[in-house]
Amino acid sequence: MKYFRMPLVGLLSATLLVTGVQTAVADEAAPQAPLRTLAERADLRIGTAVDMAALADDTTYRRTTGREFNSVTAENVMKWEVVEPARGTYDWSGADALVRFARERGQVVRGHTLVWHSQLPGWLTSGVADGSIDAAELRGILRRHITTEVKRYKGRIQQWDVVNEVFEEDGSLRNSIWLQQLGPSYIADAFRWAHAADPKAKLFLNDYNVEGINAKSTAYYELAKRLRAEGVPVQGFGIQGHLAIQYGFPGDVPENLARFARLGMQTAFTEVDVRMILPADEEKLATQATYFRGLLDACLGTRSCKSFTVWGFTDKYSWVPGVFEGQGAATLTGEDFGRKPAYGAVREGLAEGR
Ligand code: G3I
């Protein structure tokens, strides 16, 4: 579906996208400032997850990634299954390419993600399953993975998602191989090892369905409070922000961010997208825009939230249709990079600032 940017109040410029070639008809004022310029005025990193194949092959994607954002996150190329496909055999090519791309464009990098139950290399999951890797060896493998990857990018990663999705919806710990084999202490260990490898990186917990105050986000709050009291360097709470307009907008988002701030922690929106049941229409897109804006305003509403990342900025490469059948249109721009009302809402929110 081709989208045209909604006319923005105060701006006469209009951008008409034809066959992916962006022709901006600027008004008498300067051409429209990119999102990153507005974000910098608001002391915010506006980021996007990056699909490295698209970055290599799609010039519009590459140009937009560099122009609009001042933070990037590896959608997949920093995950364990990618960086260590065979035990002791590393492939840093994708991660290196993203870090280089970011450095060349003055962007910071969010590292995603060191410890997760998904996208683990096959040699590790099969070794645990067949018992050839016991708990003691697994702990050593985890320590080596974290130390190796964090040290490689020492000084070049602003924030690491150290552990990802460790709680269930009811606030109980997810029964992953990490919990089964190592017990709950794997979380504190992961943060300590990451901090030892790069003391300057800000170390985050990260999960979905934790935008408001609920059993899951409260489990993170209590975990962070306890670990910080024990001196564990848990410095940030990452709120993924995968929303859907067919569900209500989460309540208590500002209050949720505020309680982590009271612990002395940063917060970040790390993977924001807002899916819908297709086909998209004007009303659904307008609702989507309010959801993006609602999360952005919550972030701008507290100095402790310094980073707002969308999980891809174009529907062309979104993960959503492949996972949620019949749903999609979850990002700020369409398949043709046409700006949707959500893009305009994010722009206006950034322009209003804190
Ligand atoms: O790279 C292989 C390719 O070689 C193979 O031919 C192809 C077909 O099997 O698969 C490719 O790997 C895919 C990978 O993305 C890279 O494109 C995996 O199958 C696919 O499962 C994987 O999906 C990623 C998903 O995490 C995995 O759970 C999505 O791109 C990514 O957007 C998504 O991101 C997660 C965050 O990391 C954590 N929070 C939730 C978010 C959405 O699930």
Burial class of 10 by CB neighbour count within 10 A (0 to 12, 13 to 18, 19+) = exposed
CATH number of the domain where residue 138 is located: 3.20.20.80
Tally of domains within the chain? 1
**Is any atom of ligand 1 closer than 6 Å to the C-beta of 118?**
yes
In a domain, 18, yes or no: yes
In a domain, 14, yes or no: yes
Atom number, ligand 1, closest to the C-alpha of residue 240? 39
Q: In the structure, what pLDDT confidence band is assigned to residue 30 with cuts at 50, 70 and 90? A: low
Question: 3-class SS at 254?
Answer: helix
pTM: 0.92
> Using CA atoms, how far apart are residues 240 and 340, in angstroms rounded to an integer?
21
DSSP H or E segment with residue 190: helix 185-197
**What Cα–Cα distance (Å) separates residue 45 from each residue in 75, 127, 185, 281, 294?**
17, 40, 32, 30, 17
**Is any atom of ligand 1 closer than 6 Å to the C-beta of 180?**
no
Q: Which of 162, 319, 323, 327 to mutate to test the pocket of ligand 1 (most atoms within 8 A of CB)?
A: 319
In a domain, 1, yes or no: no
Range of the domain at 296: 6-352
Q: In the structure, what pLDDT confidence band is assigned to residue 32 with cuts at 50, 70 and 90? A: confident
In a domain, 348, yes or no: yes
Reported as a single tens digit per residue, the pLDDT across 211-270 is 999 999 999 999 999 999 999 999 999 999 999 999 999 999 999 999 999 999 999 999
Number of residues assigned to the chain: 354
**What Cα–Cα distance (Å) separates residue 160 from each residue in 32, 79, 111, 237, 313?**
32, 12, 4, 11, 21
Other beta carbons within 10 angstroms of residue 218's beta carbon come to 15
> Using CA atoms, how far apart are residues 172 and 353, in angstroms rounded to an integer?
37
Take residue 21 and report the two structure tokens written for it: 């070639």
Residues labelled as active-site residues: 165, 271
Q: Which of 48, 75, 115 to mutate to test the pocket of ligand 1 (most atoms within 8 A of CB)?
A: 75
Burial class of 81 by CB neighbour count within 10 A (0 to 12, 13 to 18, 19+) = middle
Q: Measuring from atom 14 of ligand 1, which residue has the nearest CA?
A: 76
Q: How high is the mean pLDDT of the chain? A: 93
In a domain, 201, yes or no: yes
